[in-house]
Structures are given as C-alpha cells and as structure tokens.
Structure 1
C-alpha cells in the first residue's frame, strides 16, 4: 500500500468489481497484505507467502561453503534505473575511498545501464547468468546488495539469504520486511542515499569474522520462512479453510 490515487480508487470500487470475481488474494508479504486489506481481503481471504525460491539449491551453498568464500559484494538484477545500479556504483566508489582493504563488487545481470559498469575500479561484470548457475555466483561472494528504487518483493533477496549471505537492502524492498533485520543479519539503508549505502558496505567489511558468521547464519534461518514445501502447504490449507468458510 502506497496510498496512490489508483490504489485509493481501487479500495472504493473493489466490493463491486473485485469481490464478485476474486475470492482470495495470495500475496507475497506484509506490504502487499496491507493493500489486500484495504481492498477488503482479510482473514481467510488473504494468504501470505506467494513467492518462494528454490530454497534447497541456495541453502546448499550455505551448508557447503560456509565462511570459506571470497570476500566480495554481489549484486544480482537488471541493469536499469529502477534497480538503483547508479546508486550502488556511487556508493561503491565512496566505500573504496573510505576503507583500507575494499572488497570487489560482482554484478550479475543485463540491461541498458551496463555501460555504467565499465572502467569502475573493483567492479566485475558477469553479465547475464542462467538461473541454475546463480547459486555458484553466490558462493563467490560474502554479502548481497539490492539498492532498488522500487522493489515490491525481490525473490533474489530470499535466494541470497538462503545462501547465507548478510544482506544490504534499500528500505523499499518488500522482501526485506521479512528477511532483513537491521544490524541482525545485515543493514537497511534509505533508498537513493548512496552515502548511507556506502556506510553499510563499510560496516560489513569491517565486521569481525565471528560477527559475519552470525549474520550469515541468521540470514539462512530467516530465509526458511518461504520454501516450496510451505508454499504447497499454504495452498492446501488455504483451500481447505476457504471451503470451510463457504459452508
């Protein structure tokens, strides 16, 4: 829920148009649940946990690699303005100027802003990577960064958490509401604030190994909120509950 004119109009007309055609809304998380509630969907009419990554494949990285992985930041996403790639690169330049032993930044993706990555010291552009190869990319880095300007959810956040990566996310990332606790398994920064992001990157870099390992473990644990098994269970139990309500 953002309070936009479109959403406000929808909340008014929903009883006449949506409710007659749609019985249940299955949403990804709390921010989407807020919108669903304003549209008149609550209780048995609103299910959570719509998105779930291939959890076992990414959890295997955590079990297999642990802390024995290269010290590097990882970004995975489209190279487009809405994803905040320019913000990340500005923050990364500031970060490199502030720390004595900066980590490299690995970028995975493609898009119109790919040219921004050229010639930036410490940045490695891997280009587009097939989904089945993404776990191995996460095994080659120690922290995940998602600097989006707008991100209703972000499945990649759960993938990185399952792989045991401390997270650095902008405060517009919907998945961060459930998967990132500031200072516990990573850091939350104000969207668009490159200096704040740079500071967060520095805090991860300077963290003692024991603290990094604790954040890694906590990310992995939080990621288990969403698995294919729980997705299937939500569907089965949700249908049963809805049928019971209709009787």
Structure 2
C-alpha cells in the first residue's frame, strides 16, 4: 500500500511546529512536505513587539522535507496581502498530496489554496483562535459571516483546546469535522536534568537564595502581556509586606519596558533566545502570564514541562484546559486588582514543589506525538 502524502502550508519555521513536523515525517506510511510561504523569513524574523530581528538558535529545518515558495508581495509580512505566492498551488499539485493541512487562513496564498483544493482533496485546518475577546457589535456579526464563508472550504479542523473548539463550532464547523490535537511544546527539552542544573546555577548567579520565591516572566513586554499592571501590583504588595519571600524576574524586551515598576524585589534580564528558555524557567519557582488576550499561551506548556506552577488570567486561552486554581496554578484577576494581593499571599503559602510535580505529569499528554496521532488517524 503506498504511503499517504500530506502537504502542510505554513508561513515560516517556528520552534513550536518543527518538532511536530519531524514526528510526522518519521511516521511509517506517511510522506510529509511542508510548504513555507514567507520566503523572506528563511533565516530570521523581524519581530515588532520584541523590537528586533530574531534568528532562532535551535534547528527548525531538520528532519523533514520542506520548500520555501517565493513570496512576491511588495510588503512581505505576516498579513493577508503580505504573503503572495503564485507558485504555491502548482508546487503542491506537482507533489500530488492526499490531503493538505493549512496553518492559518488569513494570508492571501493560504486562502487561495484552501479554495482551490476544496473538493479536489481533503482540506484540513489548524489554528488556535478563540471567542474570548469577542464583543457584541455589528463588526462581530459581519466578521462571523466572513469566517463562516472561510471555514466552508475546510473539511476538517484540529482544535487545540476547549476555547478553540467553541470557536470552530461558532463559525459553522460541526463536531464530526473536529478532532482534538492539543497545543504542545518539546516537553523533554524543558524538563531535562541539564536545564534544571543550568537554571539553578543561573539563579545562584543572580543572587537569589533558596528561601526566596522567584516569579518569572519571559516574553514580549507590550500591552497584551500586561506586565506593567502585574509589576506595579507586585511592587505595591512588596512595599506593604517587606518581609515577603516573593521576587519578580522579568526577562524580555518590548515597547513598554520603560514603564515597568522599579522595586528592590524586581530584577530584569534582556531577551533570551530559544536555547536559553529551558534554563530560564528553571531559575524561577513559578511562571507568570498575566495577559489581557492570549489565544493559547504556550508559555504555560513550557512552564508545566519544567515542573513549575503558573499564574494566568481567564483571558489566556489554555487556562480552561490546563489551570485549576490552587491545585496547579493561580489566577491573576484583571477586574479586581485588590484581590491580587490575596493571590500573592497564596503563592507564598503554597507548596510550589508539589504543584510543579503535578504539572509535569499533566503536560505529558500534551505532546507533539498526540498531535501527530490525531492527524495520522484522519489521514
């Protein structure tokens, strides 16, 4: 029996997808080829929120077959008219796939490919959008109508979690057209003994003692991540409770970094590349993601794989799937800032090691192999 051939359309190599592509490529009976549409991002990506050009320092193009399709857009970027690839459909047709899996529809070439292949071969889709930021308005009604049209060209979608499943159902897809394929990261990399040892050494170099509880944030410092509010509320708490054991470590750069609170219990580190991230999580005792909007929040997966509790808000898409208040994490209240003082006190009193061990076991099932299994079953 010939191998099943799966074509994947994606914008550019990213650290969260490359391990999945390798797993699929190594699966017996499956031939995989990834077609990248942002040809200008082969070596690096200009990141607006980080305010710099980023060259990832871990391998993202090894272990699977791929092709960069020339992007002829006058303004190449990750937006609808920023990816124009006349060669995409011919390249996929010449490869003769049994199905095509599209990562993200809101790019000109991706949407054209969905429309072209619909009715010819199965068109599958993967995204992580939610309804969490949706407001009742005429614009929402119009957008929902447009999205129902878009998803009418999708035969099957792989949802990453409960909020994403509700999104697909709201835009016309039926339960029979949906399969669970959990969002995942490279769990082994973040939970390795090497990462733990290097993190502890780095923690010591930063001057933290064993008695201090380090809350770590790693990411872009801009309005979505809400670190201005978090840092200021923590600074207020620490000022009122000078004997508290909590410390805040903020790693990253962005347009709002000058607005972060200043306090003796707050330390800063600049942007760190991907090879350093497992160590970063192992500096801290708990990882924070106080975002006002987050379709998923893979930082939470990474923290759990490192055996760390997490702080999230109810606007973080993965919270409903992965975080239970007090049992494996804590909630930062966006609506009631005063209640966050109680949260800081709860963190001080909690057995964070027990919570972290629980998280490491939970996240084992949220793996790239689990995503691959779901895709292969459909294939």
Say whether the fold is shared (TM-score over 0.5). yes
User: Which residue of the other structure, out of 161, 167, 189, is the alignment partner of 2:310?
Assistant: 167
Once residues 147 and 219 of structure 2 are traced to their aligned partners in structure 1, the CA distance between those partners, rounded to angstroms, is 34
* Native 8 Å contact 2:151 2:172 kept in 1: no
- Are residues 190 and 130 of structure 1, via their aligned partners in 2, closer, same or farther at CA, if it must alter by over 3 Å? same
User: Which residue of the other structure, out of 187, 209, 214, is the alignment partner of 1:55?
Assistant: 187
Task: Looking at secondary structure, tell me which structure has more strand per residue.
Answer: 2
The answer for unaligned runs of 5 or more in structure 1 is: 240-247
Q: Which structure has the larger Rg?
A: 2
Q: CA deviation at 1:118?
A: 6.5
Who is 1:42 aligned against?
A: 174
Q: CA deviation at 1:10?
A: 4.6
Once residues 229 and 135 of structure 1 are traced to their aligned partners in structure 2, the CA distance between those partners, rounded to angstroms, is 20
Who is 2:296 aligned against?
A: 153
User: Which residue of the other structure, out of 161, 178, 182, is the alignment partner of 1:29?
Assistant: 161
* Native 8 Å contact 2:215 2:247 kept in 1: yes
Who is 1:180 aligned against?
A: 323
Who is 2:206 aligned against?
A: none
Cα deviation, 1:184-236, whole Å, max 9, x if unaligned, reads 112123225433333212211122xxx32221112212222311111111211
Who is 1:235 aligned against?
A: 375
How many residues matched?
233
Q: CA deviation at 1:62?
A: 10
* Native 8 Å contact 1:25 1:45 kept in 2: yes
Is 2:252 the partner of 1:109? yes
Is 2:152 the partner of 1:9? no
Who is 1:223 aligned against?
A: 363
- Are residues 232 and 99 of structure 1, via their aligned partners in 2, closer, same or farther at CA, if it must alter by over 3 Å? farther
The answer for unaligned runs of 5 or more in structure 2 is: 1-130, 204-209
Cα deviation, 1:6-44, whole Å, max 9, x if unaligned, reads 55435445555531x221222321111111011122334
SS in 2 for 1:106: strand
What's the TM-score, normalizing by structure 2?
0.56
Question: CA-atom RMSD, angstroms?
Answer: 2.4
Structure with more relative contact order (C-alpha pairs < 8 Å, separation 6 or more): 1
Task: Looking at secondary structure, tell me which structure has more helix per residue.
Answer: 1
Who is 1:245 aligned against?
A: none
Q: After the TM superposition, which of the residue ranges 136-145 and 48-57 deviates more from structure 2?
A: 48-57
